[in-house]
Amino acid sequence: MPQQVLSDVKVLDLTWYIAGPYCTKLLADYGADVIKVERPGEGDPARKMEPFFGDDPHPEKSGLFLHLNTNKRSITLNLKSEWGQKVIKELVGEVDILVESFSPRVMPSLGLEYETLEEINPKLVMVSISNFGQTGPYRDFKASELIIYGMGGAMNQSGLPEEEPLKKGGNVIQYQGGTMAAIATMMTLLIASSEGVGQHVDVSLMETQLGTVDRRMAQLLSYQYNKATTARADPRDIRVYPHGVFPCADGYFELSAVGMLWRVVAGMLDMPELEDDPRFSHPLAQQIPGHRDQFEEIWYPWIMERTKKEIVAKGQEAGALCGPINNMEEVINDAHWWERGFWAQIEHPMTGKLTYPGAPIKAEEMPWVIRRAAPLLGQHNEEVYGKQGYTKEQLVTLKEKGLI
């Protein structure tokens, strides 16, 4: 087994759903030994979330769970029991990092607040990921992907003016929160291991959006500078063209005119006679009524008879900022990521071998390695509890009592 950057790091993982597990997945995939603690019987609720292998809603067949929990070991443990809390405290003494994503009142209610755990392990890095943070009036509010984006992110500016504001795709806000939590975890580990002092890190998913670069930070600052709120704008009303998403022979592509010279467009179209055309070559000339119609008479026939692949190749050759709108089939079959060795093939007992997203960070000194697929529920009970000194007979009794 190759040595990885985090091979000597031990993580106790009390996270569920998406943000927390993505944080600990990043650590696990770069070598950390992550012990995932799940509820006896049911496990991480992500096990019950779509999509399922073969559309069979089986707790070991959720694609979401399989993706988010690679390289982790799973134990089951009833945290509400005194015995469960004792085990957590034992494990806290042996790990470098604890990540949890319960609602903020849960850990203190289990007697597992940072102050108690710090006494057991002064170097402990404890990371708490929650919707709104560990303090403040919304602390105990419930949220979802949509709600966090609406409150934290640039949702007010996403969508058409006459329609409702629009979320981003899938669960990207929670994944982003998990990524931010992983940075916080690693930074805190860095200082904890050099200074010998651990800390409690408070990651609010809402704040990871308020402080993010996908328009929100700039929007918020724009309001401070000019006292103007942003509103949704129709992307088809753009003043400098061609700019935006356009149809073509087999789908759609996106191209940005801002910051791009008109002659790039002329080059892309193979129409050198347009290079100095006074109707289009200056952004202000483009605004003169009628010019846009004249441009579109040239543009649409050209794009509608070409595929997105042809158009993007032409555009890139001419120096245009452009790309196709690809669906997941096209993404997964794209030669670029295969040539870079991005995709991972992972064997799992319930699904066989499947293709998964691979390394988000590629670095020779820090290999991204799949040592094991996502764990079955409680798969590592014997291994982990055995090391803690529990015999197989004791495990049977604990199981009967519903503790593991």
Partner 1 sequence: MAKLPLEGIRIVELCPVWAGPFCCMLLADWGAEVIKVESMQHFPVYSRGLVQARPPVMLANQIWSGYTAYMLQGYDPAATPWNRFVMYNCHARNKMGMTVDLRRPEGKEIFKRLVKVSDVVIESNSPRVTEELGLTYDVLKEMKADLIMLSLSGFGRSGPYKYYRVLGAHQEGFAGHSYIRGYRDMDFTTNVTLYHTDEAGGAHGALAVVMALYHRRRTGKGQHIDMAQSEATIPHLGEAVMDYTMNQRITERLGNRDYHGAIQGCYRCWGRDDWVNITIRNDEEWQGFCRALGDPAWTQDEKFADHSSRRKNHDELDRHIGEWTRQLGKYEVMRILQAEGVPAGPVMDERDAYTDPHIRERGFFNELTHADCGTHLYPGVAWKMSKTPNPLRLPPVRLGEHNEYVYKQVIGVSDEEYQELERGGHIGTDFVPEIP
Residue whose structure tokens are 């604890």 = 98
Cα 166 from chain centroid (whole Å) = 18
3-state class of 322 per DSSP?
strand
Residues 361, 369: Cα–Cα separation, whole Å: 11
Q: Which residues, in sequence order, are CB contacts of 374 under 8 Å at separation 6+?
A: 65, 66, 67, 68, 69, 70, 72, 348
Residue 159 within binding range of partner 1, rule CB under 8 A: yes
3-state secondary structure of 199: strand
Cβ distance to partner 1 smaller for residue 137 or 389: 137
Distance CA 310, CA 306 (A): 6
- Written as six digits, the tokens of 326 are 């690809």
Cα end-to-end span (Å), the chain: 30
Q: 72-91: which residues touch partner 1 (CB under 8 A)? A: none
| CB 241 to partner 1: min, Å | 13
Name the segment binding partner 1 (CB under 8 A); options: 77-85, 95-103, 312-320, 387-395.
Answer: 312-320
Q: Cβ closer to partner 1: 335 or 400?
A: 335
Contact flags string 180-219 toward partner 1, x per CB under 8 A: xxxxx-xxxxxx--xx-x-xxxxxx--xx-xxxxxxxxxx
- Tell me the two tokens of residue 250: 């087999």
CB nearer partner 1, residue 191 or residue 288 = 191
Q: If binding means CB under 8 A, how many residues of this protein chain bind partner 1? A: 154
Distance CA 55, CA 370 (A): 25
Q: Which CB atom, from 26 or from 384, has the smaller least distance to partner 1?
A: 26
Burial 52-84 (b: 16+ CB within 10 A, else e): bbeeeeebbbbebbbbbbbbbbbbbbbbebeeb
Identify the residue among 294, 355, 394, 397 touching partner 1 (CB under 8 A): 355
**Per CB under 8 A, does 109 bind partner 1?**
no
| 254 in Cβ contact with 323 (< 8 Å) | yes
Please, what sign has the CA dihedral across residues 336, 338, 344, 348?
positive
The smaller minimum CB distance to partner 1, of residues 75 and 266, is found at 266
Of 89-97, 298-306, 358-366, 382-390, which segment contacts partner 1 by CB under 8 A? 358-366
- Does 101 participate in binding partner 1 (rule CB under 8 A)? no
Under the binding rule (CB under 8 A), the answer on residue 297 touching partner 1 is no
The correct pick among 39, 113, 120, 165 for binding partner 1 (CB under 8 A) is: 165
Which of 116, 319, 371, 386 is in the footprint of partner 1 by CB under 8 A? 319
In angstroms, give the least distance from the CB of 104 to partner 1.
Answer: 12
Minimum separation from the CB atom of position 132 to partner 1 (A):
6
State which of positions 320-339 bind partner 1 (CB under 8 A).
320-332, 334-337, 339
Residues 263-292 that bind partner 1 (CB under 8 A): 283
Part of the chain binding partner 1 (CB under 8 A), chosen from 33-41, 138-146, 271-279, 296-304: 138-146
Nearest to 43 by CA among 74, 67, 9: 74
> CB 204 → partner 1: shortest distance, Å?
7
- Residue 183 tokens read as 């940075």
Pattern of binders to partner 1 over 168-187, x per CB under 8 A? Answer: xxxxx--xx--xxxxxx-xx
